[in-house]
A and B are shown apart, each in its own frame.
Chain A
């Protein structure tokens, strides 16, 4: 009991200064990686620094990152949602169907958001209401939601979206700044505030570190988790609107495999897959790094699939290296 020894009566609030906490943090490391990738890309290709090229590159990550923000909160709370890409498919299919009914753009947006919310509520009810493990529930709903799209569409596609609908995925707010990029930035701020500056965010961390302890401290654990599933559904709905608008068509295979890319992005961003820790700035940086690496490889004519080796290795390395390091330093001490 080291602290019984002397222990000043006045305990300081914090020992480390904000700067100390920033250095050596995961986010700082990601920022360094982002800067390094930026320079490497700049040297590797003369086309990289072109504003319009850079702007195009942001579409690599904006939609996935939107879902990533909500997924980050969900994973911090100790749950996961593997059905997000399928929610996109279902929401997009619903919007395509609504087009056939003659809905206007605002009604299409409402349709996309509503489908996202309903899917999220369905996941949330199964997980919190019936107490089922989220990983299997959402593997199930992943098949179910996309399955419904397949039932509706088969091998067909919906097109014919109104021209004003194209703005969400193809419009620009100002100069090279697309609507999606602006939305990404706004959502990043909103989620950062929600997670880091509100009581709700605090509850999310508490639940992720110890759900029983959080419950015993008066946190309404089930309600918070349900809201997180709703949010994830809603963000998937928003991503569906952007993606559908950008592609201008809906096929049931839309956004196939995105769930794993989103989870990868979130884990790269420093969110602990076992719950309890991680930050939104980390996810933002991970999204940018992944987007720039994809773009850079693209400029060098390296196929995307090769980049996936890099991303996969990075995913394992970021978790493995600190553990190996800890083991080595422990070994030398003993």
Chain B
């Protein structure tokens, strides 16, 4: 284990770091999970003193590659080389010993430990009797934190720190292990503007230190600002790579989505019916504020925004998972109170959540039981189950969605993401709702299922259902919606219709900045 003092000494430049010379290289990496091919022969090169942006839509395989790089997953095929020598990471320890460290989306640290302990866990400086030298650990932590311009007490408990400071602790940890490769997985997702610009400064410092940085982000302005190179993944495959100087934003987008932005979505033009849902002044103490809109029969209303803009939080309040502090909802002009999902469902509002595995499906139960779960009162008699009714209801809706499965009593957990999503949608259609909310409906599912979900969404709207779609994918939002509400930091930032619905306005409204990234 390398002590932190060495890490600090390395500030002048790592001896082995020669800019332009390949540091870490992955080639032909594949990884398969039951039912899903997460990565298919992808390559990724990282250079010392340079930032490589890893770009791709949700489910493109970015988090899988991070897990392979950090030794959590082992690839099924392909090679990893460092300085030209092939290496293996059977454990997280091995990856960390090889100088690879990651700062994750949800800062993975320990609430009950102190800042210094979080920085040095796994490689704390030892003193007498092999005990942790607390004094030295605090000193080293302090100097590491100072080096990145943070004024955090090394003795403070992590649970008392805010998100931005937690990030700084994570970065200090990365420095403490004398990492040669630093992976930053959406590091700015939850940061304020000021904190983001501080983070950029820090990335510059890391570059100057000769670290190779893998920077994962959805925000184009930030990629163009700090990255030197890019690699694009699409559906688990390599879609392109090169230097930032030679690529335009449009080209990157095309590589990401594999089609031009104005690809054809199966959107049908439907004459909008009367108003179904009206929400006014919906507020929550910590997640969203004064949300109001109305929705008509046959309409698809898109909700766009950056990750953490409060879209899902609002939808879940509308579905009765959390309670709003203020505001009213009415269905067909009638004011209703929603205290639980059961209330929402009985009022005809249903919600397809983003987190399919945890919220959408009940893994462990068979497909047909998942489909009938909210409709049991209709398939049963006096509270007693009637299996024949259940199978026929499940069959009716799963076949409408063209579900692919071995049998209806197969565990829903054995299905691919796309087919799981079909089960979730079938479950809600079986309740015959009037409003269906879809939260990132095509996140992490294969292209075939994606198209099926889009087509079906369109059919639903045509049949008179009112649809709310939360999505972070610009083509999907623009291709499917009649109207788009953009949320930013818990509030409605803009409502776009007709000509106003273009990528530039969306991005501008979501980021809340005047100039679009060029």
Contact = CB atoms under 8 A, between A and B. Distances in A.
Q: Which of A10, A212, A218 has the most CB of B within 10 A?
A: A218
Interface stretch (B205-213, B379-387, B505-513): B379-387
A41 B361 CA distance: 47
Contacts of B215: none
A202 B369 contact: yes
A3 B419 contact: yes
Interface string B342-354: 1011100001010
Contacts of B360: 213, 216
B374 interface: yes
Interface string A200-229: 111101101110111111111000000000
Contact of A1 (B363, B380, B383, B446): B446
Nearest to A272: B364
18 contacts: A1-B36, A3-B35, A11-B405, A12-B406, A13-B395, A13-B408, A15-B409, A193-B384, A199-B376, A199-B384, A206-B362, A209-B364, A210-B364, A213-B359, A217-B362, A218-B346, A276-B364, A277-B364
Interface string A270-286: 00000011000000000
Contact of B358 (A2, A210, A217): A210
B448 A4 contact: yes
Interface in B315-359: 319, 321, 340-342, 344-346, 351, 353, 358-359
B104 interface: no
A129 B362 CA distance: 24
Interface in A180-198: 193, 197-198
B458 interface: no
A1 B35 contact: yes
B404 interface: yes
B340 A220 contact: yes
Nearest to A207: B362
Nearest to B377: A199
Contacts of B340: 218, 220
A13 B368 contact: yes
Interface residues of B, number: 52
A9 interface: yes
B359 A216 contact: yes
A14 interface: yes
A219 B373 contact: yes
Interface string A27-49: 00000000000000000000000
A11 B406 contact: yes
Given A199-B385, A213-B359, 5 more contacts: A1-B36, A3-B415, A10-B399, A11-B403, A210-B358
A64 B486 CA distance: 59
A3 B405 contact: yes
Given A11-B395, A202-B369, A1 B376 contact: no
A198 B383 CA distance: 5
A205 B416 contact: no
Contacts of B220: none
Q: Which of A10, A213, A216 has the most CB of B within 10 A?
A: A216
Interface of B: 35-37, 319, 321, 340-342, 344-346, 351, 353, 358-365, 368-370, 373-374, 376-377, 380, 383-385, 391, 395, 398-399, 402-410, 415-416, 418-419, 427, 446, 448
B119 to A, nearest CB: 31
A219 B36 CA distance: 30
A11 B371 CA distance: 14
B451 to A, nearest CB: 12
Given A199-B385, A205-B365, A213-B363, A15 B406 contact: yes
A220 B377 CA distance: 13
Given A3-B405, A4-B448, A11-B408, A202 B362 contact: no
10 tightest Cβ-Cβ pairs between the two chains A and B: A209-B364, A7-B404, A3-B404, A213-B362, A218-B345, A218-B374, A199-B376, A15-B407, A218-B342, A217-B373
Contact of B351 (A212, A216, A219, A220): A216
Nearest to A9: B399
Contacts of B374: 217-218
Interface of A: 1-4, 7, 9-15, 193, 197-203, 205-206, 208-210, 212-220, 276-277
A66 B316 CA distance: 40
B359 A14 contact: no
Contacts of A214: 362, 373
B391 A13 contact: yes
Nearest to B406: A15
B414 to A, nearest CB: 9
A220 B365 CA distance: 18
Given A202-B385, A217-B374, A212 B359 contact: yes
Given A212-B358, A277-B364, A198 B341 contact: no
B385 A197 contact: yes
Nearest to B419: A3
Contact of A14 (B321, B408, B416, B448): B408
Given A11-B395, A198-B384, A210 B408 contact: no
A220 B342 contact: yes
B404 A215 contact: no
Q: Which of A212, A213, A219 has the most CB of B within 10 A?
A: A213
Contacts of B383: 198-200
Contacts of B409: 13-15
B400 to A, nearest CB: 11
Q: Which of B373, B403, B407 has the most CB of A within 10 A?
A: B373
A274 to B, nearest CB: 10
A200 B376 CA distance: 10
Contacts of A12: 406-408
Contacts of B358: 210, 212-213
Contacts of A198: 380, 383-385
A3 B36 CA distance: 11
Contacts of B410: 15
A291 B277 CA distance: 60
A201 B384 CA distance: 9
B411 to A, nearest CB: 10
Contacts of B407: 11-15
